[in-house]
Each structure stands twice: as structure tokens, then as C-alpha cells.
Amino acid sequence: MAELRRTPLYDLHLSLGARMVPFAGWEMPVQYPTGVLTEHRHTRADAGLFDVSHMGQIILRGENAAAALETLVPADIVGLPPFRQRYGLFTAPDGGILDDLMIANKGDHLLLVVNAGRAEQDLAHLAQLAASHPGIRVDPVEDRALLALQGPGAERAFSWLVPTAPDLRFMDASDLDWDGTSLWVSRSGYTGEDGFEISVQADRAETLARLLLAHDGVAPIGLGARDSLRLEAGLPLYGHDMDETITPAQAGLGWSIPKIRRTGGARAGGFPGADIILPELTAPTRVRRGLRPEGRAPIREGVTLYAQPEGGEPIGRVTSGGFGPSIDAPIAMAILPADLPDGATVHAELRGRRVPVTIVPTPFIKPTYKR
């Protein structure tokens, strides 16, 4: 069994009393002594600091890097303005999703942030791209940590250290100075809250984290609350709500494929699986939906869903599920037949009996991004 990797903030997590768990090959904090529920509610009320250094940071260089990346990702990267960031997908030839990622135009290069569990495969994927496109270079970033500061108090806390931080708007990506150190900052996150993702030199990460935690209203938050926060925000997670067997339309991510890359667009197709993915965008037969179970018991990932309270074949399964602390109720997501309307009832099989579940729109909470 491979030894678990540790982020530059490992010692800080231990000093804060974190419970560490294996996650995507890393030893990560799942919660701190206050517990997941308190951490979740604190992030919604003020500001939470997350260590997301396990995620892969990759620099793509070359004069035609954006056009080259469009052969792997069905997003408008050529049209991405400098110092802006965009969500994208690596797609497979059969239409499935290899990974989801963030792509920032840093002026003379692209900065990609990919999922920890897929970083190795993504690097190999990009290496093949570089091999077929002379002048393209792929550089994994090995000497930086990545922090996420999320919540309504995030701007106040970060501007205490970096006064220019409030100038950024949602999905801006820029280099900001902190005490002589260049921070790679985007105004983004995966909680449904306003906030920042901050890439910092590994040897300065703990100092930055401690300064942020010293600010009134900032608390450390683990993976447990990160998951419940993103679920409330209706945000899909790779390996759960999307994977190589699920297409962008089925995952509810058709919005990430703009008109220019769709059928009839100026740069339509040209990415793996386009012949499957593009026709499905206009009329998917299955799509990711939100669910609200009756009662207080959560329905978890893997639970089978049926159309009727008795009999019949399964119509789907829960891809993410848990308790939503902000709405004080269980919530879930599942990929279901697209013709089922909001408000329709399906039935989840729990411990040998079927429980009514209502299909509802996502997100479950109103996002507070700073547009």
C-alpha cells in the first residue's frame, strides 16, 4: 500500500486537533474538535479555511496552449480573457467525464486545478497533448499549497492581509502580493459562498494559514463540512455525481459547454466524445436532479430509487446524499429520467422499505458569489 502524502499544513492540522483520514492518496483533516455540523454552519455564517493542497496544480505553456487544450476540453478557452477563470471537463471518447477542472488564463500561461484522485491521469492526458502539439509544455506545480477561504466573512479576513483582494470579482484570477510573496488568487470556491482560493509557496503556507485563522471569525474546516457545503450548493463531485460512465448532460453540466463549442458554433466539437456529447445536450434522457427525502433520515450515495412504492425496476441511484445543516433537512442528488418534473415523487429503498423522496431544483441554498 502506497504511503499517504501530506500537505504543507499537516503539522498545523495536528496542532488544531484535526482527525486525519486517507483521502485520494493524502492524509487529510476530515473534521476538527468542534465537529462537522459546527464547521458547516460557521462557514455559512462567517469564514472557513480549508486545506485543498491535495488538488493538482498544473501550468500549461505555449503560444497556442488555449487552442490545444480545447482539443481535450469542451469549453471556450481561446476566448477566456486574461486573469479570468473558467470551469471545464476532460471528456472521454465515449462521452464520459474523465475529470472536472478549473482553468485560469494567467496571461502568458494557463493554470489548471484538477482533482487529487485524478491528477496523475490528467498529467498523463496533458503529456499526450504536449507530445502532439509542438511548443506546448506541461509543468506540474510541486512547491505550492492551496487554501480555500470561504464564507461571507472571507473578504474581510483576506483583505486584512491583502488589501487589493476585494477588487476581485467572481471567477477573477490574479497574482496578489502578500508580504513580498506572490499569491495566485481566484475568487471562487466549492461551497456556494463568496470566497477565495489561494495558491501560496509551500514554505509560507503555514504562516499564511495561521494569520488567517488569527483573524476574528475564521475557523479551520475539514473535508466533512466541505462535502455537506458543496452538496447544499448543488455542486457535483467527481467520482460520485460524474465519472467516466456519465456524460456532461447527464451530470447536469451542459452549461459548461458554450454555444461556440456546440453544434453550429464557430469552434464546434473537436474534443473527445463530441459526437455523443453534443447531440445529447438538447435532449438528454437522464439528468442529475436534487432530492428532498421525507422525515429526518438522510439517504446516502448508492441508495436505489424506484418510481413506485412497490415493485418495478430501479430508475436511478443516489450519487450524493447527506444532511443539509443550513436547511436542517436531508438532501441528495441522483441521475434520473429527464422527463420527471420537479415536485414528482420517487421512492428510495432504505433497509428493505421504500421512502418517498421529492424531486426538487438545485441548489438547495442560494449561492452568494460576488458577481
46 and 148 in a single domain? The answer is yes
List Cβ neighbours of 213 (8 Å cut-off, separation of 6 or more).
49, 219, 220
Residues 300 and 369 in one domain: yes
Task: Specify whether 147 is located in the same domain as 228.
Answer: yes
pLDDT in tens, the chain (371 residues): 679 999 999 999 999 999 999 999 999 999 999 999 999 999 999 999 999 999 999 999 999 999 999 999 999 999 999 999 999 999 999 999 999 999 999 999 999 999 999 999 999 999 999 999 999 999 999 999 999 999 999 999 999 999 999 999 999 999 999 999 999 999 999 999 999 999 999 999 999 999 999 999 999 999 999 999 999 999 999 999 999 999 999 999 999 999 999 999 999 999 999 999 999 999 999 999 999 999 898 999 999 999 999 999 999 999 999 999 999 999 999 999 999 999 999 999 998 899 999 999 999 999 999 98
Same structural domain, 46 and 149? yes
**pLDDT for the residue 1:** 62
213 and 289 share one domain? no
Domain limit, last residue, from 205, 232, 259: 232
21 has which bridge partners?
28
Query: 166, 199, 232: which is the final residue of a domain?
Result: 232
Q: Is residue 194 part of a domain?
A: yes
Q: How many domains does the chain have?
A: 2
Report if residue 274 sits inside a domain.
no
In this structure, are strands 144-150 and 47-51 parallel, antiparallel, or unpaired?
antiparallel
Domain that holds residue 158: 10-54+143-232
Edge-to-edge strand list for the sheet holding 218-220: 173-178, 181-186, 195-201, 144-150, 47-51, 218-220
Q: What number of H helices and E strands is found in the chain? A: 8, 19
Whether residue 363 has a cis bond before it, omega within 30° of 0:
yes
Classify residue 104: in a domain, yes or no.
no
For cell 464520459, what's the residue? 96
358-370 pLDDT per residue, tens = 999 999 999 999 9
d(CA 125, CA 131): 10
Residues 40 and 166 in one domain: yes
CATH number of the domain encompassing residue 39: 3.30.1360.120
**Cell (9 digits) for 364:** 438547495
Can you give the pLDDT at residue 351?
Answer: 87
| Burial label, 244 (beta-carbon count in 10 A; 0-12, 13-18, 19+) | middle
Considering the domain boundaries, does residue 160 fall inside one? Answer: yes
For residue 74, tell me if it sits in a domain: no
- Residue 272 covered by a domain: no
Q: Which residues does 138 contact at the CB level (< 8 Å), separation at least 6?
A: 58, 59, 60, 123, 126, 127, 129, 130
85 part of a folded domain: no
Q: Are residues 289 and 225 in the same domain?
A: no
Given 232, 252, 274, which residue is the final one in a domain? Answer: 232
The answer to whether residues 225 and 322 belong to one domain is: no
Please tell me whether residues 174 and 39 are part of one structural domain.
yes
CA distances in angstroms from 326 to 38, 44, 228, 230, listed in the order given: 11, 8, 9, 12
pLDDT number for residue 2:
76
Q: Does 165 lie in the same domain as 310?
A: no
| Residue 108 maps to a domain | no
228 and 151 fall within a common domain: yes
Q: Examine the domain organization and report whether 295 and 222 are in the same domain.
A: no
pTM (global) more than 0.85 = yes
| CATH of residue 290 | 2.40.30.110
